[in-house]
Amino acid sequence: MDRIVEKRRTTKETAIDVKLNLDGSGKSSISTGIGFFDHMLDGFTRHGLFDLSVSCDGDLNVDSHHTIEDCGIVLGSAIAEAVGDKKGIKRYGNFILPMDDALVLCAIDLSGRPYLNFDVDFTSEKCGTMDTEMVKEFFYAVSYTAMMNIHIKLLDGTNNHHICEAIFKAFAKALDMAVSYDSRITDVLSTKGAL
């Protein structure tokens, strides 16, 4: 069964098109107008071995807030739709990702419930033109639209570029694990019978 989803969302602040294939090979085409954010979504795609295209025309004359938050909303919605009834998938995923000085833990549960625990302090206000405070907002948006628990913890690191990149890649690896199939799981992995 294909797990390919296309989403479009238009508001007065952003116009976003997303195409996500959970069973891709790491091909990305990202254009949000924020170079550093493109770099993050590119890393997410390649290391999660998804295929992802994101095009966003946002109100960057204001700042990076609406563009990043809304891309999180649309990506999260695409993930929710792509996993569908979650039959046969592992549901949980986790990864501890090193990137030079940075070490980031990400653990997720496609539980059907939103929760974000974001335990990271940045020491610079920006990476490129992306506000570092928006990293938390992005994952908050993903958590409530994809209805998943996301825990992100900075275990070590000083370089903000590395820390940020390690977060997106750790999330990618955790998500890749959570959405992958296990032949021993024939239904939904829950004692409730639904997620």
Question: How many residues sit in the footprint of Mn ion (CB under 5 A)?
Answer: 1
Is 109 or 165 the residue whose CB approaches Mn ion more closely? 165
For 62, the 3-state DSSP assignment is coil
Helical spans, DSSP H, in the chain: 35-48, 65-83, 133-145, 160-179
Q: Which residue is nearest to Mn ion (CB)?
A: 165
| 138-177: contacts with Mn ion (CB under 5 A) | 165
Smallest separation (angstroms) from Mn ion to the CB of 98: 14
Shortest gap between Cβ of 44 and Mn ion (angstroms)?
Answer: 12
Q: Which of 42, 54, 35, 165 is nearest to 102 (CA)?
A: 165
**Interface with Mn ion in residues 83-102 (CB under 5 A):** none
Closer by beta carbon to Mn ion, 165 or else 176 = 165
> In sequence order, what are the residues at sequence separation of 6 or more whose Cβ sits closer than 8 angstroms to the Cβ of residue 110?
83, 86, 89, 91, 92, 146, 147, 148, 178, 179, 195
State the nearest-atom distance from the C-beta of 15 to Mn ion, in Å.
27
> In the complex, which residues of this chain contact Mn ion (CB under 5 A)?
165
